[in-house]
Structure 1
Amino acid sequence: MKPIHAGAISLFLAVASGEAALAGSPETPAPPLTCGGDEPYWHLKLGIDGKARFSDGDGETFISAFTMQPSRNTTLIAGVNFGPKADIHAVIGRETCSATASDEDKPLSISVWYKGDLLSGCCQPDS
């Protein structure tokens, strides 16, 4: 497997459409999802209403529209692009993830670019 370069990920995220995209495969990550990470403790909720609720762990929160863009060549990852004023992008992958604050494995991993920083964490589908 070839590594994904930051430029390729940026290009991938830049082509996300303005309309909510539904996952094209049952394997492709799709809302509703709850995601988060440790150190800093951040939280992201992707709702089926097309709204993302993000808290950076330092007291800043926002609600924004989002789109999910399935990968063109695999059903295992999807990009998330947030509203035009949000300084955040994410890639969610179908890969088991261990949160450091709990012993419970989550079925999805996430990488989030927020205000120039890269955050990593885990996601799980909402019940």
Structure 2
Amino acid sequence: MTSPHVPSVAVEDVPTDFDGGVPASADTPRPILLDVREDDEWQLGHAPGAIHIPMVDVPARLDELEYDADLYVVCRQGGRSLQVVEYLTHIGFDAIQVRGGMVAWQHAGRPLVAQGDQQAKIY
């Protein structure tokens, strides 16, 4: 799911140097991958270095995000990330939707990790 009014990018064009939002230097923050899926979805599999804030919690947890960083937002397939990107860009973040979500991420062979010792999977 995409919108012509919301910046978006294919999973292949998303950087992989995420470190939970920790800046690369004082002048250049690392890009942030914000995963807005629910806890059970996150535990099954997520991108290494992503920040997990379920969609409903985003407004209350904005202080965990960096205004100066490129903020890539991902969900399972694109519906929730579209809404979150609309909200974040409205309040001043440089937010970008990851088209196809974590389903496209796994399909493209991008790295995944899971909670515990289970094998990571999205679908």
Q: TM-score, normalised by structure 1?
A: 0.31
Kindly indicate which of the two structures has a greater share of residues assigned to strand.
Answer: 1
Kindly indicate which of the two structures has a greater share of residues assigned to helix.
Answer: 2
Q: TM-score, normalised by structure 2?
A: 0.31
